[in-house]
Amino acid sequence: MSDTATTPTNATFDQFGLHADILKAIAEQGYTTPTPIQAEAIPVVLGGRDVMGAAQTGTGKTAGFSLPIIQRLLPLASTSASPARHPVRALILTPTRELADQVAANVQAYAKHTSLRSAVVFGGVDMNPQSAELRRGVEILIATPGRLLDHVQQKTANLGQVQILVLDEADRMLDMGFLPDLQRILNLLPAERQTLLFSATFSPEIKKLASTYLRNPQTIEVARSNSTATNVTQIVYEVAEGDKTGAVVKLIRDRGLKQVIVFCNSKIGASRLARQLERDGVVATAIHGDRTQSERMQALDAFKRGEIEALVATDVAARGLDIAELPAVINFDLPFNAEDYVHRIGRTGRAGASGDALSLFSPNERKQLADIEKLIKRPLDVQRLTVDTPVRHHHDERAAPRRERDDRGGSRRRTTGAHERPHGTHHRQQPVDDFFLKPYEPSPSAVSAAAKRDEAPAAPQKPASKQPLAALLGGFGMPRKTTPSN
């Protein structure tokens, strides 16, 4: 049975009893007053109780659990160089590499003035540096489930002394099929531990998971479950499917957006859209699961530096991306899972800032739109958007097919299907030699050679040999005397 916390009023970080070293790090980060989720979660986590925390993305959930974790582990901190004095005492699991890297950066910043060690492990990169860091000993480990199990199998990570477990964005982990990995990890942890579950949404599957692994958790909800931030303006533009790319360019140019995340439903669609935006003069790159980890991190760093205008992403980037003052996000495709809409638009309007969530809606996406409105319990403002100029890339990509290197490192012939053709346009294909359309006709030389064969006298055929019947039955007796025919 769980109960719900009440929101404290006029709370400050000094009132939580945090160590001076932690308060110093908080001040260096520019934090002045805690957010609602932080004000409610920090005292409960400090008390050692299990927590189910629900809050909109961008409201400071990471500090809400990491600050009290650091406080609780401080009495066990050691300056010894021995790895035995630095076992894994807190484990934070995240669904994506980007989110794991961001949480690790925050934990490192909060614990910079303490003796606590932290490390992050995720897939897509070499395991050897991670293994070396784990062997030196860390108290706080941030990990994705798959790579953590790799380290457990290699015996470079020991989870036998974990006191605090955090499942960050657990619903996304279930969506990505991590439930078997989560169960294996949870079975490796001590039964006596504190478990914290934080997410922007609580699905029935998450509640079932919490009832299995959390003990009398306290539910903390600073906003209505599955709601969106009030400081984010949400607009849905109805456009034809073939005009979506032109609509993205129009929105970027008309609104003067220098930084925007554009969400697609597929990895192929994200790569294609990034190329099309480049052709239309928008500096863009794609980030999705088929890109290597180094490519994803390079693209994200370039976007944060302002070198890229449009970061085209799949839902791998819907959670964990913390871009300061991101003005807008664009949904090129409405997500199939309505909860992903909440996480996508949570990339803008973070930490109290305002932002715009712009979505493109074609007639074949009515079901997705209805599911989103049902989830957030409010109708969305649907407006018509007219794209005046045709999109140039539809002609260019057909007129000049070329071989490109795909995201997996191989090469492929770039083709364009008929389903990508803009409405109302007719593409003239390259001329084809009529020779290849005619039925087969033998050449004159072949005809003359065949005629000569027909005119030549037939060669005498060798008479068929007559074998005695006994030979056919496997025996060879005396040849039978033949008698002349009458």
Instruction: Mark which of 191, 221, 251 sits at the end of a domain.
Output: 221
pLDDT (mean) for 140-153: 96
Tell me, yes or no, whether 424 lies in a domain.
Answer: no
In which domain, by residue range, is 181 found?
Answer: 3-221
pLDDT (mean) for 467-483: 52
Could you give the number of structural domains in the chain? Answer: 2
Q: What is the pTM of this model?
A: 0.63
Element (H or E) spanning 184, and its range?
Answer: helix 179-188
Integer Cα distance of 319 and 74 in angstroms:
29
Tell me, yes or no, whether 447 lies in a domain.
Answer: no
| Residue 399: CATH number of its domain | 3.40.50.300
Tell me, yes or no, whether 449 lies in a domain.
Answer: no
pLDDT in tens, 285-304: 998 878 887 888 888 889 98
Tell me, yes or no, whether 481 lies in a domain.
Answer: no
Whole-number average pLDDT of the chain: 80
Same domain, 193 and 238: no
Same domain, 213 and 242: no
For residue 481, CA distances in Å to 369, 468, 475, 477 come to 98, 10, 17, 12
Same domain, 258 and 189: no
Tell me, yes or no, whether 328 lies in a domain.
Answer: yes
Tell me, yes or no, whether 454 lies in a domain.
Answer: no
Same domain, 50 and 103: yes
Tell me, yes or no, whether 381 lies in a domain.
Answer: yes
Other Cβ atoms within 10 Å of 70 Cβ, number: 24
**What per-residue confidence (pLDDT) applies to 421?**
40
pLDDT in tens, 315-332: 875 565 667 778 999 999
**What per-residue confidence (pLDDT) applies to 442?**
60
What does residue 53 show for φ and ψ, rounded to 5 degrees? -110, 125
Using the predicted structure, report yes or no on whether residue 100 has a pLDDT greater than 80.
yes
Integer Cα distance of 120 and 133 in angstroms:
9
Same domain, 10 and 122: yes
**What per-residue confidence (pLDDT) applies to 480?**
53
For tokens 């909860």, the residue is 339
Same domain, 237 and 203: no
Same domain, 140 and 11: yes
Same domain, 150 and 258: no
Interaxial angle between packed helices 204-213 and 179-188, expressed in degrees from 0 to 180 and rounded to the nearest 10 = 10
Same domain, 188 and 251: no
Higher pLDDT, 338 or 199: 338
Same domain, 143 and 188: yes
Same domain, 252 and 214: no
Q: Residue 218: which of 201, 196, 189, 203 has the closest Cα? A: 196
**What per-residue confidence (pLDDT) applies to 102?**
87
Diameter of the chain measured on Cα atoms: 132
Tell me, yes or no, whether 452 lies in a domain.
Answer: no
Instruction: Mark which of 390, 417, 444 sits at the end of a domain.
Output: 417
Same domain, 211 and 272: no
Element (H or E) spanning 199, and its range?
Answer: strand 194-199
